[in-house]
Amino acid sequence: MRSFLSITIVLLVALTITVEAIKRKEKGKEVRAEAECSDWVYGKCVPNNDDCGVGVREATCNEQTKKHKCKVPCNWRKDFGADCKYKFSRWSDCDTATGTRNRSGTLKKVLYDAECQTTIKVSKPCTPKTPKAKGGEKKAKKGKEN
């Protein structure tokens, strides 16, 4: 009876080791197959909620598909996409007729093979500048302490 129990335990250990070795070998094949693919095609970043914020981008290569986390900005830049990087000129003076300021940008970098315009123009409302007194409150407090 003891020898039967010992043989059973040895066989179970051998079977467990064999199964783990097979799993490692299969995992290695998957990693190599992923590494072999060099022509990944990335889709557009799709936000999880509303039209901006954290989202998911799909990447495909041959028959493989992966999902990557991404982020769509929640500001004026969303008009021309988060995957297109531009170098912008200075803001123009305020156009009093329209109440806006303008500037243009030239394409600097394209991410994930996105379709980007080579030049773009953006505008924003003019904001009135009101000068702030520097350190006005600090001086007043010091005067009261003395």
Residue 112 within any structural domain of the chain: yes
Residue 135 within any structural domain of the chain: no
Residue 4 within any structural domain of the chain: no
Cite the beta strand spans of 27-94 per DSSP E: 41-42, 46-47, 53-61, 64-72, 84-88
Token pair for residue 47? 């936000």
Distances (CA, A) of 30 to 25, 34, 57, 102, 129: 9, 6, 21, 51, 59
pLDDT digit string, tens, across residues 90-122: 999 999 899 999 999 999 988 877 788 899 998
pLDDT at 110: 86
Identity (one letter) of the amino acid at 88? F
pLDDT at 64: 87
Residue 131 per-residue DSSP state: P
Quote the number of domains for the chain.
1
Residue with tokens 């005067």: 143
pLDDT digit string, tens, across residues 39-64: 888 888 888 887 778 889 888 888 88
Residue 16 within any structural domain of the chain: no
Cα 59–Cα 108–Cα 79 angle in degrees, nearest 5 = 70
Residue 140 has pLDDT above 70, yes or no: no
CA distance 82 to 85: 7
- Judged by DSSP in three states, 109 sits in strand
Residue 63 within any structural domain of the chain: yes
Q: Look up the domain containing 70 and give its range.
A: 37-125
Q: For the chain, what is the mean pLDDT? A: 78
User: Which comes out higher in pLDDT, residue 84 or 81?
Assistant: 84
- Judged by DSSP in three states, 45 sits in coil
pLDDT at 132: 65
Mean pLDDT of 81-89: 84
Residue 20 within any structural domain of the chain: no
**In this prediction, what percent of the chain has a pLDDT beyond 90?**
15
pLDDT at 1: 74
Best CA proximity match to 91, nearest among 62, 126, 135, 64: 126
Residue 132 within any structural domain of the chain: no
User: Which comes out higher in pLDDT, residue 88 or 75?
Assistant: 88
pLDDT at 76: 52
Residue 11 within any structural domain of the chain: no
CA distance 54 to 120: 25
